[in-house]
Structure 1
Amino acid sequence: KKPLLLWLNGGPGCSSVAYGAAQELGPFLVRSYGENLTLNAYSWNKAVNLLFLEAPVGVGFSYTNRTSDLRRLGDRVTAQDSYSFLLNWLNKFPEFKNRDFYIAGESYAGHYVPQLAELIYDGNKGASRDRVINIKGFMIGNAVLNDATDQMGMVEYAWSHAIISDELYSAVRRECDSFKEEEDGGKPSKGCSPAVRAFLRAYDDIDIYSIYTPTCLSSSSSSPASASPRRSSPGLVAAPRLFSKHVKEAWRRMQRVPAGYDPCTEEYVKGYFNREDVQRALHANRTGLSYPYSPCSEAISKWNDSPSTVLPILKKLMGAGLRIWVYSGDTDGRVPVTSTRYSLNTMKLRPRLMRKTAGDGAGEESEWGGWRAWYDRQQVGGWAVEYEEGLTLVTVRGAGHQVPLFAPRRSLAMLYHFLRGSSLPASRSR
């Protein structure tokens, strides 16, 4: 029997249906200006039973009858509500109760996924048999993990990819005190805000979530000029704490979730889910929401808690034996691979040495740790390293922030190996 996998998008406040299901890994993708659906040849439902949750309340078609609920949202409430949803859903569909269960997600789901996994793991202890969730592990992509290293990696990535100047790079590092939080001794100067604003402006004409693909020049955009990249409606954004503390409005202007090779897929999805016939077919919006469907919520304006790091949760769940893969599309500038590597490096994990399978020194262990290429259809799909503690880091070559959108075949191949607990192919011959 296929496992059950829950997919969560981040934001906070962005829809797992609008992004995960309709643009990335669902069985049907919205195309052609929201007029029809296309079968996804690389849908993850080839390997698992997919469950998409619009969380927290106020996201997508999820709603509440009390507006006060929208003012108490944060990481804690999102995890608790998602856990309650899962327990109730499994009671309603008991045929899935004993199946292996996994969670996956991207971006700010770097918080959602491990926080929910921790609740499930703790909740299973001493729970009655009918309330045990058979969790085996999770995957998180281009994930927000640790504020200080996330933002350091973001600036390093922009500089190393020639998006910002040497002078601006030095100014941000200097004025923002190397991205330390104030409680950790960081003392950002008055020059931090203008330096970060200049940093953000460097991305004005390209897609920060996919730096090498075109931007959407949709006529329905709210941008002042038709030749300017599209920006979504304002909402919350998974901004590193130090930056958001000093230039919150600048980060809000950056709010959008990435486009793909057709850079206007988000526009198509928004139009599709606002169609009355689609809502009727989905049995959605029966209460008649007072606002239109939006891929990222316009109803959520306050986020009450967001810890600066989730790395202790990863460490705890690795110790509990859960399978954890962290993957990263390497053309994302928003939560880039540099951020992920810096964050994981603070955990001081031990790379598992890999034996070379081909070429000079075949059969020998690499003298440079376990970092190696992995292959798909005899081409390099990215790079990977496995750690003795049970975590695997995978990069996906040429993919942006939404890996299943940019690299659908390789993302599905990665999922199969994750589920089997097997290493990604280390040579062209496999």
Structure 2
Amino acid sequence: MGMYDYFASHALISDQSLSEIHKYCFSPNATSDLKCYNATITATSTLNQHMDIYNIYAPVCTNRNLTSRPKRYATDPCIDYYVDAYLNRPDVQKALHANVTKLDHVWQGCSSGLTNWVDYSSTSIPQLKELMASGTRVWVFSGDIDGRLPFTSNLYSLKTMKLKVKTPWHPWLINQEVGGYTEVYEGNLTFATVRGAGHTVPSYEPRRALALISHFLNGNPLPFSSKD
């Protein structure tokens, strides 16, 4: 639900589409899987074709020719194709001692060859609770222009944990500008966004990502001022 709410709040789908998705997919009275499917497909069909859902403001890859010189963006939109090609080279796989069984499909970041994989959890909340119960500091963060795993979904998940707010929502700063927003909860859990970052935060905002991880490793809260 957080993903579709994010789409609507960023003008990627219509209010009507969002209303139908809520009605057919997430309401207590939702009974039709087909209506839910049709509503989501109708709303998002153009998103997957013409934009990078992992960074809704990034350019898309328009030339998958690995030998051509790409235009220089802060992050190359074609990088996934380079990675796939590199990791499927026989010499690279040999050096990594990978694919020794000679699989009948190529390596992919999100493999279409694993069609029956069911060994995964539907939520990571039990793991978060376990870490918090042991006294471990937990930080959950999101790039604020990631449409695939948006900050709204993370916030909705954390809300189900019914945690008390220790430090209310506020901007955190780096180099005298907003690096993102954060909220701290009792139980040693911090939620943070990274402004201008997509799905893989360091790829899009390396300086802000470094600030985030540095404060976490040092055991310090995200800074209220650029001097912190």
TM-score, length basis structure 1: 0.48
What percent identity do the matched residue pairs reach? Answer: 46
Is residue 41 of structure 2 the alignment partner of residue 197 of structure 1? yes
After TM superposition, the structure 1 stretch with the greater mean CA deviation from structure 2, 309-318 or 283-292, is 283-292
Cα deviation, residue 383, structure 1: 0.7
249, 254, 275: which one aligns with 2:89: 275
Is residue 20 of structure 2 the alignment partner of residue 176 of structure 1? no
Q: Give the 3 Å change call, closer, same or farther, for CA 307–273 of structure 1 in structure 2.
A: closer
Mapped partners of 1:206, 1:305: distance in 2:
30
- Aligned residue number for residue 336 of structure 1: 150
Higher relative contact order (CA 8 A, sep 6+): 1
- Aligned residue number for residue 184 of structure 2: 386
Q: Is the 1:210–1:400 contact (alpha carbons within 8 Å) kept by the matching residues of 2? A: yes
Is residue 216 of structure 2 the alignment partner of residue 418 of structure 1? yes
Q: Give the 3 Å change call, closer, same or farther, for CA 264–189 of structure 1 in structure 2.
A: closer
Is residue 118 of structure 2 the alignment partner of residue 319 of structure 1? no
Mapped partners of 2:88, 2:122: distance in 1:
35
Q: 1:361-380 alignment to 2 at 5 Å? A: 370-380=168-178
SS of the equivalent of 1:187 reads: coil
Cα deviation, residue 193, structure 1: 1.9
CA-to-aligned-CA distance 1:366-388 (integer Å, 9 cap, x gap): xxxx2111112222110111111
Mapped partners of 1:344, 1:395: distance in 2:
14
Is residue 28 of structure 2 the alignment partner of residue 187 of structure 1? no
Q: Give the 3 Å change call, closer, same or farther, for CA 294–389 of structure 1 in structure 2.
A: same
Q: What are the ranges of 5 or more consecutive residues in structure 2 without an aligned counterpart?
A: 67-73
Mapped partners of 1:298, 1:191: distance in 2:
26
Q: Structure 1 counterpart of 2:37, which letter?
A: S
Cα deviation, residue 164, structure 1: 0.8
Q: Structure 2 counterpart of 1:429, which letter?
A: K
Is residue 114 of structure 2 the alignment partner of residue 300 of structure 1? yes
CA-to-aligned-CA distance 1:101-128 (integer Å, 9 cap, x gap): xxxxxxxxxxxxxxxxxxxxxxxxxxxx
Q: Structure 1 counterpart of 2:115, which letter?
A: S
Q: What are the ranges of 5 or more consecutive residues in structure 1 without an aligned counterpart?
A: 1-151, 222-259, 354-369
Q: Is the 2:174–2:225 contact (alpha carbons within 8 Å) kept by the matching residues of 1? A: no
Mapped partners of 2:189, 2:52: distance in 1:
30
Cα deviation, residue 324, structure 1: 0.9
- Aligned residue number for residue 263 of structure 1: 77
Mapped partners of 1:326, 1:393: distance in 2:
5
Mapped partners of 1:211, 1:292: distance in 2:
28
Mapped partners of 1:331, 1:158: distance in 2:
10
Q: 1:131-142 alignment to 2 at 5 Å? A: none
